[in-house]
Amino acid sequence: MGADREDEPLDPVGAAGRLEDLTDALRPDSARSRVLAELDRMFRTGGAPDPLPEGFVSGKLITTSVWGPLDSIGLRVTRHWMPWHGKSFDRAAMTGQNRFDPSARLAMRVLWPSYRPVAMRWGRLEAFPFRTRVAPGAVDPDVEVLKIDYDFEANPGFLIRRILDEVVQVDAGTYLGKILFRIGPRLRPIGFFSLHRQP
């Protein structure tokens, strides 16, 4: 994965632990540029997951990268409340869903009044279905990524359909995702998340 690019390859044994270290290093009042630069470097040393993920893969929002003060507020909020649990993948169909804690239901009703997530056992929710494909990255065209695309009729037009997630594998069962947001014809990076498949 990415061995012939100029970026120095990441030690695969330490990739999962390094993601945890970088997440822990983020503080609302910290200098974030170094952490964001390293996350971007890790992303560029990855490649499309092989094999593609199947079933539920737990997720964690690492950080947003919209604007320093807004990112700091978001970091404070998500340290105490983050209802997103991860993503469920159907490898054969190249589709999937996001999984949420039931506490997300009220926020969804406020933001998307006509949207109804799918209720699961124990109150969990599945929402915002996606389609997947492997292709070069939108802002990193030299990196093969798994694209997670929300731009179709099943999703709310407000915010969600403008999102394109791109995921690379950085360790066995560990993936780093870059969140892209469409503004006009351009896609702009607005954050990072991680996914981890249990053995």
Task: Kindly give, in sequence order, each residue whose CB lies less than 8 Å from that of residue 11, ignoring residues fewer than 6 positions away.
Answer: none
Is residue 2 domain-resident? no
Number of separate domains in the chain: 1
Does residue 166 fall inside a structural domain?
yes
Answer yes or no: is 93 within a domain.
Answer: yes
In a domain, 103, yes or no: yes
DSSP 8-state assignment for residue 117: P
In a domain, residue 138? The reply is: yes
> Quick one: pLDDT at residue 25?
61
pLDDT tens readout for residues 2-61: 444 444 444 444 787 777 777 666 654 456 788 899 999 999 999 999 999 999 999 999
Residue 133 lies in a domain: yes
Please report the DSSP string for 162-196 in residue order.
GEEEEEEEEETTEEEEEEEEEETTEEEEEEEEEEE
Whether 123 is covered by a domain: the verdict is yes
The per-residue pLDDT for range 62-120, each reduced to its tens digit, is 999 887 777 778 777 888 889 999 999 999 999 999 999 999 999 999 999 999 999 99
H-only helix segments in the chain:
15-25, 33-45, 68-80, 104-111
pLDDT tens, position by position, 165-184: 999 999 999 999 999 999 99
> Residue 71 sits in which domain range?
12-196
State how far the Cα of 28 lies from the Cα of 70, in Å rounded to an integer. Answer: 10
pLDDT bracket for residue 191 (50, 70, 90): very high
Residue 6 located in a structural domain: no
